[in-house]
């Protein structure tokens, strides 16, 4: 007897049974899959590593994973580019580039995503001089609904590149991505607690004087933990310091137990948050490591997340309103709120389209109620002209998308040209992008 194949996203916000799951291991295999789907009148969604919270990949028809299509295909050290199979994870890519003396110019805070999955939603790290990961894409191999293989780059097809860089799988299957890369570099990280008022008072200095700056605000404490990261010539650490080991233990075990305790005994929550902040050091000698090892953190604790991009200069006001709303409503949430910065870009569906942005992410541990909390916070983001991270929880509707994305008609016209039968759409995408 065949058991049903149930697919679940990382946080289990999306659970469904695809009609069929396919893992092509070559470009020809991807083309055959698309042609077979076209013949059978089936639609296709492509999945990366399933780390999005939204129903982007939900389908009753064919779910395609490129997890058997991985690795670097070519490196051009004159142009400083790497051509990579779309199913390669960021973790595999970081290590493989490092062996060649190369690195990605920036990363987000995990490296579990597939390259095409990460870029297709506009995944970002932090740093005012750095765009999202999608801006690193300078060329692409795209398989269309007819099974045609298109090769675009930013010189030959500048408009199409600005469409495909953040395209949520709506234009076709991205088979290969050519990325702009940089020589390997080392980073020095400092992370210690500070009063939130101090961080906000010195915000401009913090974001301008660090290659990467972000902070995590801890509710009900008045404190945040900023992360300041600069490039350095100092050698990478061979062995972790006792402080780093302590920090990791703190993050992984103490936080986990605090969160479980606060779920069971909600009256303890705010006190536990203050105990947690008290345990975090208020100074840090910092540590040095290679960039691809510095950016990713291990996330053993599953959580729900909503993240919006807003105009960078509005962050202090927007955050103040969020804090006020949390405190007035006494939400039982003990997970920190993360604030990051991303340089504006020209990508048609990018949340950072034509504006330097601050991204604010609210989170709640999996299993704790988050609906009311997120429902109260989302209008604040809308009030500050927010655009959601496409992979993270949001209720953005077609009218919002149409109002916030002036190039949406161009994107949809290109989509129509490449996939007139709507092969690469599901109900959520039709509702949100077509109305």
Ligand X SMILES: Cc1cc2nc3c(=O)[nH]c(=O)nc-3n(C[C@H](O)[C@H](O)[C@H](O)COP(=O)(O)OP(=O)(O)OC[C@H]3O[C@@H](n4cnc5c(N)ncnc54)[C@H](O)[C@@H]3O)c2cc1C
Positions touching ligand X (CB under 6 A) are: 10, 45-52, 56-57, 66, 86, 108-110, 113-114, 116-118, 120-121, 123-124, 168-169, 173-174, 299, 389, 391
Q: Write down the least CB distance from residue 335 to ligand X, Å.
A: 12
Residues 6+ apart with CB under 8 A from 112: 49, 51, 89, 90, 91, 296
Nearer to ligand X (CB atom), residue 144 or residue 221: 144
CB of 389 to ligand X, least distance (A): 6
Closer CB to ligand X, 220 or 426, in the complex: 426
Residue 323 phi, psi (nearest 5)? -60, -45
DSSP assignment of 150-166: EEEETTT-HHHHHHHTT
Nearest-approach distance from CB 249 to ligand X, in angstroms: 19
Q: What secondary structure does DSSP assign to 371-401, as a single string?
A: HHHHHHHHHHHHHTT-EE-TTS-----HHHH
Task: Compare residues 18 and 117 and give the one whose CB is closer to ligand X.
Answer: 117
Would you state the structure tokens that stand for residue 389, as one six-digit string? 């991270």
Surface-to-core class of residue 288, CB atoms within 10 Å of its CB (0-12 exposed, 13-18 middle, 19+ buried):
middle
Q: Is 317 helix (H, G, I), strand (E, B) or coil?
A: helix
Q: Among 76, 109, 63, 65, which residue's Cα sits nearest to residue 90?
A: 109
- Please report how close the Cβ of residue 361 comes to ligand X at its closest, in angstroms: 8
- Rounded to the nearest 10 degrees, the angle between the axes of helix 269-279 and helix 255-264 is 170
What is the smallest separation between the CB atom of 152 and ligand X, expressed in angstroms? 13
Q: How many Å is the Cα radius of gyration of the chain?
A: 22
Q: Which is nearer to ligand X, 60 or 268 (CB)?
A: 60
The DSSP secondary-structure symbol of 23 reads -
The nearer residue to ligand X, 133 or 272, going by C-beta atoms, is 133
Measured from the CB atom, the residue of 49 and 357 that comes closer to ligand X is: 49
Tokens of 168: 């949520």
Work out whether strand 44-47 and strand 20-22 pair parallel, antiparallel, or are unpaired.
unpaired
Angle at 270 between CA 217 and CA 11, to 5 degrees: 65
DSSP letter (8 states) at residue 353: B
CA distance 147 to 29: 10
CB of 424 to ligand X, least distance (A): 8
Surface-to-core class of residue 61, CB atoms within 10 Å of its CB (0-12 exposed, 13-18 middle, 19+ buried): middle
Nearer Cβ to ligand X (94/169): 169
Nearest to 227 by CA among 191, 281, 280, 279: 191
The token duo for 224 is 């945040």
Output 172 or 220, the one with its CB closest to ligand X: 172
CB of 385 to ligand X, least distance (A): 19
In whole angstroms, how close is the CB of 76 to ligand X at the nearest point?
Answer: 22
Query: 25-46 b/e with 16+ CB inside 10 Å = b?
Result: eebebbbebbeebbeeebbbbb
Minimum gap (Å) between residue 164 Cβ and ligand X: 8
Indicate the residue among 157 and 299 with the shorter CB distance to ligand X: 299
Q: Select 299 or 400, whichever has its Cβ closest to ligand X.
A: 299
CB 78, min distance to ligand X, A? 27
Phi, psi values for residue 76, rounded to 5°: -120, 105
In the complex with ligand X, which residue's Cβ is closer, 174 or 358?
174
Q: Inter-axis angle of helices 371-383 and 315-329, to 10 degrees? A: 150
Nearest distance from C-beta of residue 91 to ligand X, angstroms: 11
């Amino acid at each position: 007897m065949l058991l049903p194949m149930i697919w679940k996203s990382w946080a289990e916000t999306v659970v469904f049974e695809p009609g069929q799951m396919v893992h092509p291991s070559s470009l020809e295999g991807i083309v055959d899959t698309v042609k077979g789907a076209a013949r059978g009148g089936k639609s296709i969604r492509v999945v990366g590593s399933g780390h999005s919270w939204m129903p982007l990949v939900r389908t009753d028809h064919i779910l395609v994973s490129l997890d058997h299509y991985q690795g670097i295909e070519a490196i051009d050290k004159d142009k400083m580019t790497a051509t990579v199979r779309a199913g390669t994870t960021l973790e595999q890519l970081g290590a493989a580039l490092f062996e060649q003396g190369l690195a990605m110019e920036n990363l987000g805070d995990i490296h579990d995503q597939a390259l095409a999955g990460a870029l297709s939603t506009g995944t970002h790290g932090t740093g005012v001089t750095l765009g999202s990961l999608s801006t690193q894409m300078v060329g692409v191999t795209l398989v269309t609904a007819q099974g045609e293989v298109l090769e675009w780059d930013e010189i030959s097809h500048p408009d199409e590149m600005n469409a495909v860089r953040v395209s949520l799988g709506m234009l076709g299957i991205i088979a290969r991505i050519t990325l702009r890369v940089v020589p390997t570099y080392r980073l020095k990280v400092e992370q210690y607690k500070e009063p939130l008022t101090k961080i906000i008072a010195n915000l401009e200095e913090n974001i301008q004087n660090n290659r990467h700056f972000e902070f995590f605000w801890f509710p009900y404490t008045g404190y945040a933990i900023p992360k300041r990261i600069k490039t350095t010539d100092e050698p990478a650490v061979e062995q972790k310091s006792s402080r780093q080991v302590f920090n990791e233990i703190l993050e992984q075990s103490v936080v986990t137990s605090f969160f479980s305790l606060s779920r069971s005994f909600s009256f303890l929550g705010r006190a536990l948050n203050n105990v947690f902040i008290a345990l975090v050091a208020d100074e840090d000698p910092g540590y040095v490591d290679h960039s691809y090892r510095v950016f990713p953190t291990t996330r053993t604790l599953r959580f729900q997340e909503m993240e919006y991009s807003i105009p960078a200069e509005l962050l202090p006001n927007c955050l103040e309103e969020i804090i006020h709303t949390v405190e007035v409503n006494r939400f039982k949430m003990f997970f920190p709120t993360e604030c990051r910065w991303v340089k504006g870009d020209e990508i048609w569906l990018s949340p950072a389209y034509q504006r330097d942005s601050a991204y604010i992410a609210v989170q709640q541990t999996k299993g704790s109620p988050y609906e009311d909390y997120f429902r109260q916070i989302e209008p604040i983001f809308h009030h500050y002209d927010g655009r959601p991270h496409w992979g993270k929880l949001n209720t953005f509707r077609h009218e919002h998308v149409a109002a916030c994305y002036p190039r949406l008609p161009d994107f949809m016209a290109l989509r129509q040209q490449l996939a007139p039968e709507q092969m690469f759409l599901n109900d959520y995408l039709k509702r949100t992008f077509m109305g």
